[in-house]
């Protein structure tokens, strides 16, 4: 008697339609190399979008992720260079990147929960702070890694699939389980749906909310490693610029409600890929780079409008 | 006899294929008060929501004053003079009282809102309702009873000639109920037709002219109220005889399980002292604003205490958060199930196990164990829902309450504080809940029972504490537990004579 709820699958259907159109529009689209490229390009924002899904479901938002990525990236490469050659330095730097990301996330979370500042405002402030610290520390100059092994991390392949894609997809599976099959995930949905009811249900609302920011920070750390190792350098002014927009857009396109309370990881993965394909198609079709933002904006609007219709 | 103002014929309503109303045909006469009775989930709210344009019917026709009408939205209904006081609050908590009352029917002068006139009219309305509410007060600062008065005022402002009231009295105390009834009489004299849903048979008997009874979505009967007594009503509703609503009281033990000393919150509670015995039902009575909910919330660590000590099972304890309270096996069922109790976009299992989730986790949540446990509650309390995956927002009010009770029972509490637990519950289930409380007592639990319904306080409690304005006015036992004594203390007469 229960009917299939099609609206739940809207992002997946959109993806399938998009792939079909793209395949018809350009013969290059379905080439293995192109697909692998698209996936690698989206994995940097995609990894962060996984963490952001938790923050948004919990009822928050994190605008600082792009700047945070630059700051973590610069610090990580500096640490790497300070430690020296070899895999040991690389492993240490990766650990440091994740820890730094989590720490910056903790700072965001603490301002929001302890300081009772709205997430939008708090992370708008830290977005500015992180970027400015990045420029200061690096003296606005590119920081280049001297470690010979480091480029293999983000630039390497495993079974002909780029490493960042593996990281993105594995994290997606872990985060899916975290969201749907653990008490923590259940509590994140609860506090985003109704914080008062959650508090009355003996849920540590602030702690849970804080942790979502820490998780997002950690994903920023991972993304920073992937990006800086592939490029073998970090450019303090450009790294992660406007990432917050792509990340939030992907989460929303994936069906997660900006009002909090509901969302899925697989939706976010699809949202990330949809954005990537759109970018890729516009490139393949030779559309002006200046117009790509317009297309992206329209896609976000359609996704949000579709959600709005559902809740009516 | 005058021709009907409202005619329903063959109204059918289905939710995703499930029929909840079966060909309801019913004439409503001008100026009458028509009571609508039925068990939880019988379809009362659904029927009235169709009349007020909130739901669209699957088939059938609605006619107003002899003309078939097409009700698509609440605005259509409003234009036809139909207004509804909904069962669940529909107020915007960040706005104040007058803004809510005039929401959608704002008075403007030119381009601007005429706040002054709206404020004045709100003041008039509230005066008619005899509440001293401030038109400028924020909704989020109001108690549930006050919110209900705002809902009533909101329905009145549109000058409706058909007024639908879905359980308007569940959150009101006797005093406010009396005011509401006087108002209904006045409206009736003005020729307004009123449709009135309630689970309180006494009220129905007192207020209504005719009575429609629904059972499982069917209209079972339509009778004049004169000639029916409460027992008849209950029998028609449930389909069989209802005996012994209240179980025998059992004698509590000597052992004290909870001791509250010198509990104070500035401006809210003053020096509250009491003890709860093992196996006792301790009733808390009083008028709105008496401080009963605040006392419970302070015990549960939900409110900051300015002073006060708690002892649980003879041991001094600090409870500064609900987490600590739950660990001490305290449970508190709030009076505000939608605002503080349930997550409306969660399904039944996720709501029931929200507090007790730890018991289902071994690394990951064991969802089959969770569902198994939830099914036990669904059959224990006879929770009516299309499936376990139904979101709470789509359950009838009474069934939501049953889910809420299950949620706390799943924490295996030893001390259970029930704040208006039978709010919105039909007579039959009420009886089940009373007997369930007795079962809990036999199992060694102790219960604090807060209620504004004197009858159930009297029927269940071993001892009754009466509060007023944040103070305990008296404690009654044995023969003294009667309506007169309770009202006497609740009205504060003890202090004046002392
Ligand atoms: N929006 C909805 N979606 C699906 N089912 C619904 C929805 N609203 C109500 N129902 C179902 O319709 C039936 C009748 O519900 P309704 O709210 O009319 O009951 P009621 O008589 O008002 O009960 P109560 O006394 O508990 O308020 C219930 O089984 C309920 O689960
Ligand atoms: Mg109802």
Query: What CA–CA distance (Å, rounded) separates B423 from B337?
Result: 9
- SS3 state of residue A234: strand
Q: Measured at the alpha carbon of residue A106, what is the angle toward residues A104 and A107, in degrees to the nearest 5?
A: 65
Residue A310 confidence (pLDDT): 55
Q: How confident is the model at residue A312 (pLDDT cuts 50, 70, 90)?
A: very low
Question: What pLDDT does residue B484 have?
Answer: 87
The pTM for the full model equals 0.84
pLDDT grade for A2, boundaries at 50, 70 and 90: very low
More confident residue, A102 or B191: A102
Task: Name the DSSP letter for residue B138.
Answer: B
pLDDT attached to residue B494 = 58
* List of domains in chain A: 31-311 (1.10.3470)
Mutate which of B15, B40, B48, B392 for ligand 1? The one with the most ligand atoms within 8 Å of its CB, which is B15
Q: In what order do the strands lie in the sheet containing B269-277? A: B269-277, B256-265, B307-312, B315-317
Q: Give the SS3 label for residue A205.
A: helix
| Nearest CA among A244, A225, A211 for reference residue A57 | A211
Share of residues in chain A with pLDDT > 70 (%)? 96
CA of B397 to the centre of ligand 2 (A): 5
Which of A146, A19, A134, A32 has the alpha carbon at shortest distance from A90? Answer: A146
Instruction: Please give the Cα distance from B415 to B258 (Å, whole number).
Output: 8
More confident of the two residues A311 and B261 = B261
Q: Does B19 touch chain A (CB under 8 A)?
A: no
- How confident is the model at residue B454, as a pLDDT? 87
More confident residue, A172 or B154: A172
- Interface with chain B: mutation pick from A176, A200, A255, highest number of B CBs within 10 Å: A200
Distance from the Cα of residue A140 to its chain's centroid = 25
Residue owning the nearest CA to atom 7 of ligand 1? B394
Nearest-ligand number for the alpha carbon of B383: 1
Check pLDDT > 80 for residue A124. Answer: yes
| Pick among 3.40.50.300, 3.90.180.10, 2.60.120.460, 2.60.40.10: CATH of B6-238 | 3.40.50.300
How far away is chain B from the Cα of A178, in angstroms, using its nearest Cα?
8
DSSP letter for A150, please. Answer: T
Question: Looking at ligand 1, which atom is closest to the CA of residue B55?
Answer: 1
**Per CB distance under 8 Å, which residues of A are interface residues toward B?**
1-3, 177, 181-183, 186-187, 189-190, 193-194, 196-204, 261-262
Domain with CATH 3.40.50.300 in chain B: 6-238, 256-490
Chain B residues in contact with A190 by the CB 8 A cut-off are 343, 346, 354
Cβ–Cβ < 8 Å for A220, A101: yes
Q: Give the residue, by CA position, lying nearest to ligand 1 atom 16.
A: B43
Name the nearest CA neighbour of B447 among B200, B169, B249, B172.
Answer: B249
Dihedral through CA A256, CA A261, CA A265, CA A271, nearest 10? Answer: 10
pLDDT of residue A4: 56
Q: Helix or strand or coil: residue B288?
A: coil
CA of B49 to the centre of ligand 2 (A): 10
Rounded to a whole number, what is the distance in Å from the CA of B457 to chain A's nearest CA?
25
Name the CA dihedral angle for B287, B288, B292, B297, rounded to a multiple of 10 degrees. Answer: 170
CB nearest to B365's CB, from A186, A202, A262? A186
The better pLDDT of the pair B5, A296 is held by B5
Which tokens sit at A198? 């959650």
Compute the half-sphere exposure of residue A100: CA atoms within 13 Å on the CB side of its CA: 26
* CB-CB neighbors (< 8 A) of B348 in chain A: none
Q: Which residues of A72-101 are buried (b: 16+ CB within 10 A; e: fewer)?
A: bbbbbbbbbbebeeeeebbebbbebbbebb
Q: How many CB pairs under 8 A join A and B?
A: 69
Helix/strand/coil percent split, chain B, to 5: 35, 25, 35
Q: Are the CB atoms for B175 and B205 separated by under 8 Å?
A: no
Looking at residue A210, its pLDDT comes to: 98
Report the residue of A173, A188, A197, A205 to disrupt the B interface, i.e. the one with the largest count of B CBs within 10 Å: A197
3 state DSSP class of B479: helix
pLDDT at B498: 38
Which residues crowd ion ligand 2, with CB under 5 Å?
Answer: B 45, 87, 397
The CA distance from A97 to A219, in Å, is: 10
Preferred mutation among B20, B319, B320, B322 to probe A, highest tally of A CBs within 10 A: B322
H or E element, residue B141: none
**B346 — contact with chain A (CB < 8 Å)?**
yes
Q: Quick one: how far is CA A304 from the chain centroid?
A: 19
Nearest CA to ligand 1 atom 18: B43
Chain B closest CA to A204's CA: distance in Å?
A: 8
Buried b (16+ CB within 10 A) or exposed e, B164-185: bbbbbbbbbbebbbebbeeebe
Q: What is the DSSP string of B162-226?
A: EEEEESTTTT--HHHHHHHHHHHHHHHHTT-EEEEE-S-HHHHHHH-SEEEEEETTEEEEEEEST
Q: Ligand 1 — pocket residues by CB below 6 A?
A: B 15, 20, 38, 40-46, 87, 384-386, 394-399, 424, 426
**CB–CB contact A181 B407 (8 Å):** no
- Cβ B341–A200 below 8 Å, yes or no? yes
DSSP class of residue A253 equals: H
Nearest chain B CA: its distance from A243 CA (Å):
31
Q: Is B498 on the interface with A (CB under 8 A)?
A: no
Could you please report the per-residue DSSP string of B310-342?
EEETTEEE---SHHHHHHTTEEEE-S-IIIII-
CB B122 within 8 A of CB B97: yes
- Alpha-carbon span B306 to B308, nearest angstrom: 7
Instruction: Report the b/e string of B316-339 with b at 16+ CB within 10 A.
Output: eeebeebeebbebbbbbbbbbbbb
Q: What is the largest CA-CA distance in chain A?
A: 65
Answer yes or no: are the C-beta atoms of B439 and B470 closer than 8 Å. Answer: no
Q: Which two tokens stand for residue A250?
A: 């992907």
Q: What's the CA gap between A54 and B223, in Å, rounded?
A: 56
B18 contacts: CB under 8 Å, gap ≥ 6: A1, B386
Query: Which residues are CB-contacts of B178 (< 8 A; sequence separation ≥ 6)?
Result: none
Contacts of A199 in chain B (CB under 8 A): 302, 322
**B256-490 carries CATH number 3.40.50.300:** yes
- What pLDDT does residue B309 have? 94
Instruction: Look at residue A104 and tell me whether its pLDDT is greater than 90.
Output: yes
> What is the Å distance from ligand 1's center to B328 Cα?
36
Q: Which atom of ligand 1 is nearest to the CA of B43?
A: 18
Q: What is the mean pLDDT of residues A159-176?
A: 95
| pLDDT less than 50: residues of chain B | 495-498
Nearest to A202 among B345, B355, B365 (CB): B355
How many Cβ atoms from other residues are within 10 Å of residue B297's Cβ?
Answer: 22
Out of B18, B345, B357, whose CB is closest to A1? B18
């Amino acid at each position: 008697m229960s009917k299939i709820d099609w609206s739940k699958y809207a992002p997946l259907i959109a993806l399938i339609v998009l792939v079909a159109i793209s395949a018809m529009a350009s013969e290059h689209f379905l080439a293995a190399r192109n697909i692998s490229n698209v996936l690698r390009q989206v994995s940097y924002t995609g990894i962060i979008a996984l963490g952001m899904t938790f923050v948004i479901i919990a009822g928050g938002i994190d605008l600082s992720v792009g700047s945070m990525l630059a700051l973590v990236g610069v610090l990580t490469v500096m640490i790497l260079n300070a430690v020296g050659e070899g895999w040991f330095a690389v492993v240490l730097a990766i650990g440091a990147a994740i820890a730094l990301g989590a720490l910056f996330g903790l700072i965001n979370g603490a301002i929001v929960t302890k300081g009772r500042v709205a997430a939008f405002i708090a992370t708008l402030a830290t977005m500015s702070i992180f970027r400015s610290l990045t420029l200061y520390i690096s003296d606005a100059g590119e920081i280049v890694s001297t470690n010979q092994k480091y480029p293999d991390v983000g630039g390497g392949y495993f079974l002909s699939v780029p490493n960042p894609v593996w990281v993105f997809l594995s994290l997606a599976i872990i985060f899916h389980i975290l969201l749907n099959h653990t008490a923590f995930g259940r509590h994140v949905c609860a506090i985003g749906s109704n914080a008062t009811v959650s508090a009355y249900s003996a849920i540590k609302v602030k702690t849970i909310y804080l942790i979502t920011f820490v998780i997002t920070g950690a994903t920023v750390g991972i993304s920073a490693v992937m990006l800086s190792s592939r490029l073998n350098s970090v450019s303090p002014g450009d790294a992660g610029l406007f990432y917050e927009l792509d990340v939030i857009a992907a989460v929303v396109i994936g069906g997660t409600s900006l009002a909090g309370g509901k969302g899925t990881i697989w939706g976010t993965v699809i949202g990330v890929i949809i954005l990537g394909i759109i970018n890729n198609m516009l490139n393949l079709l030779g559309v002006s780079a200046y117009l790509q933002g317009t297309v992206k904006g329209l896609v976000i609007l359609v996704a949000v409008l579709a959600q709005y219709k559902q809740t009516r | 006899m005058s021709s009907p103002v409202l005619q329903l014929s063959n109204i059918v309503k289905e939710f995703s294929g499930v029929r909840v109303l079966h060909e309801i045909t019913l004439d409503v006469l001008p100026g009458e008060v028509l009571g609508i009775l039925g068990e939880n989930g019988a379809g009362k709210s659904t029927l009235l929501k169709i009349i007020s344009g909130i739901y669209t019917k699957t088939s059938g026709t609605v006619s107003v004053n002899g003309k078939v009408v097409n009700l698509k939205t609440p605005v259509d209904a409003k234009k036809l003079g139909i207004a509804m006081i909904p069962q669940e609050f529909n107020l915007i908590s960040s706005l104040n009282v007058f803004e809510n009352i005039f929401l959608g029917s704002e008075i403007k002068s030119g381009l601007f809102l005429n706040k002054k006139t709206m404020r004045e009219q709100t003041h008039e309305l509230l005066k008619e309702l005899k509440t001293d509410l401030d038109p400028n007060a924020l909704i989020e600062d109001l108690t549930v009873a006050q919110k209900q008065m705002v809902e009533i005022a909101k329905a009145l402002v549109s000058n409706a000639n058909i007024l639908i009231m879905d359980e308007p009295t569940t959150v009101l105390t006797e005093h406010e109920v009396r005011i509401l009834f006087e108002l209904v009489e006045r409206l009736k004299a003005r020729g307004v037709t009123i449709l009135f849903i309630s689970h309180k048979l006494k009220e129905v008997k007192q207020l209504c002219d005719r009575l429609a009874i629904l059972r499982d979505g069917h209209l079972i009967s339509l009778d004049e109220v004169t000639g029916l007594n409460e027992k008849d009503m209950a029998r028609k509703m449930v389909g069989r005889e209802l005996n012994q609503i209240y179980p025998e009281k059992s004698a509590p033990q000597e052992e004290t399980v909870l001791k509250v000393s010198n509990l104070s919150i500035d401006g809210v509670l003053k020096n509250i002292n009491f003890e709860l015995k093992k196996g006792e039902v301790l009733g808390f009575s009083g008028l709105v604003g008496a401080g009963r909910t605040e006392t419970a919330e302070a015990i549960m660590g939900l409110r900051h205490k300015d002073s006060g000590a708690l002892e649980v099972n003879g041991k001094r304890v600090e409870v500064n958060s609900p987490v600590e309270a739950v660990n001490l096996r305290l449970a508190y069922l709030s009076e505000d199930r939608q605002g503080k109790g349930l997550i409306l976009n969660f399904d039944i299992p996720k709501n029931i196990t929200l507090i007790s989730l730890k018991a289902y986790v071994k690394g990951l949540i064991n969802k089959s164990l969770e569902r198994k446990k939830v099914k036990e509650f669904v059959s224990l309390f006879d929770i009516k829902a299309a499936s376990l995956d139904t979101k709470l927002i789509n359950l009838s009010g009474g069934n939501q309450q049953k889910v809420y009770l299950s949620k706390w029972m799943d924490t295996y509490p030893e001390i259970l504080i029930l704040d208006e637990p039978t709010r919105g519950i039909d007579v039959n289930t009420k009886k089940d809940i009373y007997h369930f409380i007795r079962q809990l007592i036999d199992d060694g639990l102790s219960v604090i029972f807060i209620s504004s319904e004197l009858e159930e306080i009297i029927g269940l409690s071993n001892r009754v504490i009466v509060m007023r304005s944040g103070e305990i006015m008296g404690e009654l036992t044995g023969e003294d537990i009667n309506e007169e004594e309770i009202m006497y203390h609740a009205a504060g007469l003890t202090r004046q004579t002392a």
